[in-house]
Amino acid sequence: MESYETHEHDVLVIGAGGAGLRAAIEAASQGVSVGVVCKSLLGKAHTVMAEGGVAAAMANVDKSDNWQTHFKDTMAGGKMLNNWRMAQIHAQQAPDRIHELEQWGALFDRTPTGDILQRAFGGHTCKRLCHVGDRTGLELIRTLQDRVVQIGMPVYMECTATHLFKDGGRIAGVLAYWRETGKFVLYKAKAIILATGGTGKAFVITSNSWEYTGDGFGMAYQAGAQLMDMEFVQFHPTGMVWPPGVRGILVTEAVRGEGGQLKNSKGERFMERYDPKRMELSTRDQVARAIYTEVKEGRGSPHGGVFLSVTHLNAEAVKKKLPSMYHQLKDFADVDITKEPMEVGPTTHYIMGGIRVEAETTASTVPGLYAAGETAAGMHGANRLGGNSLSDLLVFGRLSGHHAAQFAKQNSGAVKINEDEVRRAAQEVLAPFDRTSGPTPYELHEKLQEFMQAKVGIMRIESDIKEALVEIQDLKKKLTTVRVSGSRMFNPGWHLAYDLKNLLTSAEAIARAALMRQESRGAHTRLDHPKTDPEWGKVNHVISKDGDAMKVAQSPLPQMPDELKKLFEETK
């Protein structure tokens, strides 16, 4: 095969969002050599789109808040399907991670007494979200980015990872190509951290960017790691629905956190009927289902959503607390949110499932392979609370960096990568160029998004999911005939052609797990099994590669120790 460049690191981080950068910083602090590979430019990762805030029980606003309460909220929001240990670590460590950011230059909004201000959010019983207006993610990524630049590690930008390689049982490296030139590059590494985010681009209506193609899931799956809880895809209740070009773009939950009200076409605050206690600040799965039901029963807004209104709030306060929402709605939809309600509807936002990891080390089932952030499963159970994602990135990003560095130190022998495997992998990536006929990647992607949205979307039913699985098999076949034109230089068609492989793996995992879980729980709603069944609450679905087929197995949920169980009894 053609010659390719090779780089060697102790720890290689794939993905430069919050989790990836936090992991890289931590690994570098252990004195090992660290490299970061990312698909976009540094600082453009999906974390920039996080808006509302980062959850941490700092008790700056609600003095009664503590990690136990945060832990309880997280578990309750996740319908008790979370990995209890992850939820505990997360709740305990989040405040330290925020303070750390501040020491690296982050500037959160303040209380009048000079502490970090915290706002209310769905499913959190206390005001807990540290925020910067409605651009918290940008602050977070910029702070981490600056820190990475300060430490001075190589960041391989606009470089797409395609195949993980193993040496014996353990991880050894990854093949990637430069998006700019199309040339291959091989990274050898003693430990690899996957922080590649989720797979929102498997759906039409999504708040996710093009990068969200499930690369981490696909690569880890192919390398023999297990995926878990893939049926739980979060549909954020409030995405824009009009105009069509911006359909799915997020309207932050902070709108409701600051007092926004949801109304149907009759002007009713319909959340009264679904969750009278928490109203708009119910959990995302419930609000999304409520909106879906309102629209389905004919009480929707003109463009198939419901109304979200902040017109009863002070206009200046709205502009100050929600500046980017004000501009987003004004620029894209000609709506002045201080005067008119927004039209919103559910949009694919996040996947609770992902690579199965050990709670304390974030290690996957492949030695040397770690996963953090949205790519990892377990922390959020069946439904994620708003604001828990940014804190998840920081807490588990750091842990994965720490443990990957430790692993690299303990296994310091050189890793070998089989040349033949590299050659085969490169051939696979380049194959679409050799074909002169066949479908374009855009056609296949459109098809995938359509049926995933329609059949494995917010409301699921057995027959639909089965149909989707047939379609997935069909697309997998078609993918082997996909054709791309042009050169290897910055060719988006070609890039998509390879991304589709990972999208299809993720979609299949979602569909298979969704088919198996015959109950409704959190973000997974089965119209044919509308009840939550305690028996199903005892198992996770674990997906792994079995020859060429995908295997879904049940694995018992880890049991939490008695002292944590007590926390839940006290409230009953």
Partner 1 sequence: MSEMVIRVSHGTTEKMEEKTYKVPVGPGMVVLDAIHYIQSHFAPDLAVRWNCKAAKCGSCSAEVNGKPKLMCKSRMDAYDQNEELVVHPIKTFPRIKDLVTDVSWNYRVNKTITPFTPPKGNFGKMYQADMDRVQEFRKCIECFLCQSVCHVLRNHEKHEEFAGPRFFVRIASLEMHPLDEASRIKFLKEEGGLGYCNITKCCSEVCPEDIHITDNAIIPLKERVVDEYYDPVQKIFRIFSGK
Does residue 335 interact with partner 1 by CB under 8 A?
Answer: no
The region of 68-76, 208-216, 289-297, 500-508 touching partner 1 under the rule CB under 8 A is: 208-216
Q: Return the residue of 311, 493, 557, 568 that touches partner 1, per CB under 8 A.
A: 493
- Catalytic residue, chosen from 22, 124, 131, 236, is 236
- Known active-site residue 312: no
Lay out the sheet containing 118-119: strands in order across. 54-55, 129-130, 118-119
Q: Return the residue of 489, 531, 553, 566 that touches partner 1, per CB under 8 A.
A: 489
Do 512 and 232 touch, CB atoms closer than 8 A? Answer: no
Backbone phi and psi for residue 73, each to the nearest 5 degrees, phi listed first: -60, -45
Closest distance between partner 1 and the C-beta of residue 138, in Å?
7
Q: What is the spatial distance between Cα 310 and Cα 329, in angstroms, rounded to a whole number?
A: 12
Q: Return the residue of 6, 150, 418, 559 that touches partner 1, per CB under 8 A.
A: 150
Do 44 and 65 touch, CB atoms closer than 8 A? Answer: no
Do 16 and 161 touch, CB atoms closer than 8 A? Answer: no
- Considering only residues 91 through 120, tell me which ones interact with partner 1, judged by CB under 8 A: 103-105, 107-110, 112-115
Binding string, residues 235-264; x marks residues near partner 1 by CB under 8 A: -------xxxxx--xx--------------
In DSSP terms, 130 is beta-bridged to: 54, 118
Looking at the Cβ atoms of 382 and 390, the one nearer to partner 1 is 390
Closest distance between partner 1 and the C-beta of residue 432, in Å?
11
Closest distance between partner 1 and the C-beta of residue 245, in Å?
5
Does residue 330 interact with partner 1 by CB under 8 A?
Answer: no
Closest distance between partner 1 and the C-beta of residue 226, in Å?
29
Cite the beta strand spans of 352-493 per DSSP E.
354-355, 369-371
Do 439 and 475 touch, CB atoms closer than 8 A? Answer: no
Closest distance between partner 1 and the C-beta of residue 265, in Å?
20
Residue 531: CB atoms within 10 A of its CB come to 11
Record the tokens describing residue 518, joined without a space. Answer: 């015959």
Q: What is the spatial distance between Cα 289 and Cα 403, in angstroms, rounded to a whole number?
A: 39
Q: Return the residue of 328, 449, 502, 540 that touches partner 1, per CB under 8 A.
A: 328
Give the CA distances from residue 430 to residues 448, 454, 485, in Å, rounded to whole numbers and listed in that order. 22, 32, 11
Do 236 and 207 touch, CB atoms closer than 8 A? Answer: yes
The region of 62-70, 309-317, 488-496, 517-525 touching partner 1 under the rule CB under 8 A is: 488-496
Does residue 481 interact with partner 1 by CB under 8 A?
Answer: no
DSSP state of 451: H
Closest distance between partner 1 and the C-beta of residue 330, in Å?
11
Do 186 and 161 touch, CB atoms closer than 8 A? Answer: no
The region of 189-197, 206-214, 285-293, 464-472 touching partner 1 under the rule CB under 8 A is: 206-214
Q: Return the residue of 272, 297, 331, 336 that touches partner 1, per CB under 8 A.
A: 331
The region of 329-337, 370-378, 398-406, 456-464 touching partner 1 under the rule CB under 8 A is: 329-337
Looking at the Cβ atoms of 132 and 475, the one nearer to partner 1 is 132
Looking at the Cβ atoms of 103 and 436, the one nearer to partner 1 is 103
- Catalytic residue, chosen from 256, 349, 380, 384, is 256
Do 348 and 325 touch, CB atoms closer than 8 A? Answer: no
Do 366 and 170 touch, CB atoms closer than 8 A? Answer: yes
Looking at the Cβ atoms of 73 and 343, the one nearer to partner 1 is 343
Looking at the Cβ atoms of 42 and 461, the one nearer to partner 1 is 42
Does residue 29 interact with partner 1 by CB under 8 A?
Answer: no
Does residue 333 interact with partner 1 by CB under 8 A?
Answer: yes
Q: What is the spatial distance between Cα 142 and Cα 138, in angstroms, rounded to a whole number?
A: 6
Q: What is the spatial distance between Cα 390 and Cα 374, in angstroms, rounded to a whole number?
A: 10
Closest distance between partner 1 and the C-beta of residue 232, in Å?
23
Do 370 and 193 touch, CB atoms closer than 8 A? Answer: yes
Tokens 């930008």 map to which residue? Answer: 157
The region of 38-46, 217-225, 419-427, 513-521 touching partner 1 under the rule CB under 8 A is: 38-46
Cα dihedral 373→378→383→385 (10° resolution): -50
The region of 41-49, 80-88, 196-204, 541-549 touching partner 1 under the rule CB under 8 A is: 41-49
Q: Return the residue of 7, 85, 127, 142 that touches partner 1, per CB under 8 A.
A: 142
Closest distance between partner 1 and the C-beta of residue 46, in Å?
7
| Helices first, then strands: H and E counts in the chain | 16, 18
Q: What is the spatial distance between Cα 544 and Cα 84, in angstroms, rounded to a whole number?
A: 23
Looking at the Cβ atoms of 112 and 168, the one nearer to partner 1 is 112
Closest distance between partner 1 and the C-beta of residue 249, in Å?
5
Does residue 302 interact with partner 1 by CB under 8 A?
Answer: no
- Considering only residues 420 through 479, tell me which ones interact with partner 1, judged by CB under 8 A: 440-443, 446
- Known active-site residue 273: no
SS (H, E, C) 189-221: EEEEEECCCCCHHHCCCECCCCCCCCHHHHHHH
Give the CA distances from residue 445 to residues 201, 277, 304, in Å, rounded to whole numbers and listed in that order. 9, 41, 24
The region of 89-97, 136-144, 401-409, 460-468 touching partner 1 under the rule CB under 8 A is: 136-144
Question: Residue count at the site for partner 1 (CB under 8 A)?
Answer: 64
Within 13 Å and on the Cβ side, how many CA atoms surround 50?
32
- The CA angle 223-441-464, to the nearest 5 degrees, is 75
Looking at the Cβ atoms of 130 and 379, the one nearer to partner 1 is 130
Record the tokens describing residue 229, joined without a space. Answer: 């809880």
H helix intervals, 104-235: 136-151, 215-222
| Chain residues that interact with partner 1, rule: CB under 8 A | 40-46, 48-49, 103-105, 107-110, 112-115, 132-133, 135, 138-139, 142, 146-147, 149-150, 152, 157, 180, 209-211, 242-246, 249-250, 324, 327-328, 331-333, 440-443, 446, 484-487, 489-494
Residues catalogued as catalytic: 236, 256
